[in-house]
Amino acid sequence: MNLRPCRLLPVMTMTLWLVSLTFAADPADTGPTISAKDLAAGLAALQEGSSYVRLRLEVKHPADTTKIGLQLQIKQRSTRTATDLVYQVLWPKERKGEAVLLHKAEGAPPSGSLFIPPDKPRSLGASEFKEALFGSDLSYQDVIENVFAWKDQKIVGTEVLNRVSCLILESRPDKQASSIYGSVRSWIDSRRLVPLRVEKYLPSGQLARRIETTRVATDDKGRFIPADLTVRDPRGDSVTDLDGSRIRHDVAYSDRDFTPEGLAEILASPPASGP
């Protein structure tokens, strides 16, 4: 299903990032109308299920010069307690087949494998999850963890962001979350209930990532989701733009799709939807 010109994007869990809520808010209300716990739980729950995404990733360094341009496919399978995720390069030809497999279970640190043809897949070490995904401003940790599933959630204020009223949700991990971050703040559009900005902070308090939503659209289920994302690491001068072109939910995957052996198999077309 091609959704242009409304260019959809997954995320951050950035897969993701395929987030919206099923409960309504009063468009005239600029203050919190629900609890932080309910807000976070709704956001976390909508990352459950399976999906297939095609997108373009561009890294600019400096900000006006394209350094990396990739077309990717993303396969995701999530339940309340575990997430499996595969990012695979489809283009350019010289990088086709590069892939990363990530897994995160509740109460356990993330695990994964990296595949760069013609070598065999290799396991990612715990310290590698802070490294860049395909040379972008996103880390492996960014795309596999679901910050809305963390237990410590607070609404710490409201702010008008680009003329849109937002609730500011602060999420903090406990020890079981195994995160490289000390806290995450999300600016949630209080009318459409979509994250318009996410800031991730190291345990030291230093800002490590800023993710901005530059367009909001609807997905194949009619829900509002972030479109066109820009990711910045304030510690450097590069910028990553993410532009999704296709999204499908309720996709039927086999267990092999989320194994190191399955990384060597590039799909020419989206998998079939489930029943």
**HSE (side-chain half, CA atoms, 13 Å) at 122:** 8
**Tens of pLDDT along 231-242?**
998 888 899 999
CATH for 36-263 (3.30.1360.20, 1.10.150.120, 2.50.20.10, 2.60.120.380) = 2.50.20.10
Cβ atoms 124, 132 nearer than 8 A: no
Structure-token pair, residue 221:
């289920």
Tell me the pTM: 0.84
Tell me, what amino acid is at 43?
L
- 86-90, long-range: CB < 8 A, 24+ apart: 86/257, 86/258, 86/262, 86/263, 87/133, 87/134, 87/143, 88/263, 88/266, 89/134, 90/54, 90/266
Alpha helices in the chain (DSSP H): 36-45, 140-144
How far is 173 from 131, CA to CA, in rounded Å? 19
**HSE (side-chain half, CA atoms, 13 Å) at 7:** 12
Please check the confidence at residue 63 and state whether its pLDDT lies above 50.
Answer: yes
**Tens of pLDDT along 158-217?**
999 989 999 999 999 988 888 999 999 999 998 888 999 999 999 999 999 999 998 888
Least confident of 33-42, 123-132, 139-148: 33-42
| 17 confidence band (pLDDT: 50, 70, 90) | very low
**Tens of pLDDT along 19-36?**
333 333 343 444 446 899
**Would you state the pLDDT for residue 208?**
96
Please check the confidence at residue 66 and state whether its pLDDT lies above 60.
Answer: yes
Sign of the alpha-carbon dihedral angle for 211, 141, 148, 6: positive
How far is 91 from 251, CA to CA, in rounded Å? 23
How far is 71 from 92, CA to CA, in rounded Å? 7
Q: Which residues pair with 129 in a beta bridge?
A: none
| 64 confidence band (pLDDT: 50, 70, 90) | confident
What is the SS3 assignment for 258? helix
How high does pLDDT run on average in the chain?
A: 85
The residue ranges of every structural domain in the chain are 36-263
**Would you state the pLDDT for residue 21?**
32
Terminus-to-terminus CA distance in the chain, angstroms? 17
Output Rg (C-alpha) for the chain, integer angstroms. Answer: 18
**Would you state the pLDDT for residue 127?**
93
Q: In 3D, which of 116, 141, 156 has the Cα closest to residue 209?
A: 141
